[in-house]
Amino acid sequence: MKTILFIEDESALQRTFGEFLTKANYDIISALDGEVGLKLANPPAGGKKPDLILLDLVLPKINGFDVLMALKEDRETKNIPVIVLTNLEGIEDVNKAIELGATTYLVKVKYSPEEVVKKIEKVLINE
């Protein structure tokens, strides 16, 4: 079973989308802010490392762009695919996230949860 780290400050969305991910047979690790997200992305020896990270950009403590930058700078986490899942849709945000190493950029408002699950499957297959 593949593990997904879901870094999202909206607990309601964590809960709702978590149901869809569970139904699609994924194991979920949740983080409600950037700081916890970074810790969970690179757990101490013996901990389960995620196969994919779903990352929101507007996050407390450490924002999504900084989380992404830290993930891609760390040798342990740089190969984990990161899907940005946000409601920011400015072209400058999209370009910045892609430049920092995001695999895909999804604007929540444009997708249904099923479509996001399909995108996750596609990224994991390609990896």
Partner 1 sequence: MELKPIYKELNIFSQCKRYGLPLWQCPQFLFVVMGIFTIATIFTSYALGARYISDPQIVILLVFLITAVLFIISFIITQSFERLAEASRMKSEFINIISHQLRSPLTNLRWAVDLLISGDLGNIEEKQLEFFKILKENGSRMEELISDLLIISRMETEKTAPQKTEFSLEDLVNELISKARAFAMSYNVEIKVETARNLPMLFGDVSQIELVIENLLDNAIKYIHPHTYSVGVGVHPVGDIVSNGVKRDGEIKISIFKKDKNIYFEIKDNGLGIPKEDQKYIFQKFFRSENARRAQTQGSGLGLFICKSTIENNGGKIGFKSKENKGSTFWFTLPLRNY
| Contact residues for partner 1, defined by CB under 8 A | 10, 12-13, 16-17, 19-20, 23, 58, 87-91, 108-109, 112-114
Shortest separation between residue 39's beta carbon and partner 1, angstroms = 24
Alpha-carbon span 68 to 94, nearest angstrom: 13
Closer CB to partner 1, residue 17 or residue 105?
17
Closer CB to partner 1, residue 91 or residue 125?
91
Shortest separation between residue 66's beta carbon and partner 1, angstroms = 18
Shortest separation between residue 8's beta carbon and partner 1, angstroms = 10
Shortest separation between residue 19's beta carbon and partner 1, angstroms = 5
Closer CB to partner 1, residue 16 or residue 48?
16
Alpha-carbon span 67 to 17, nearest angstrom: 21
Could you tell me how many residues make up the chain? 127
Alpha-carbon span 87 to 107, nearest angstrom: 5
User: Which run of H or E residues covers position 91?
Assistant: helix 91-100
Closer CB to partner 1, residue 9 or residue 27?
9
Residue from 27, 52, 32 nearest 103 by CA: 52
Residue from 70, 98, 71 nearest 84 by CA: 98
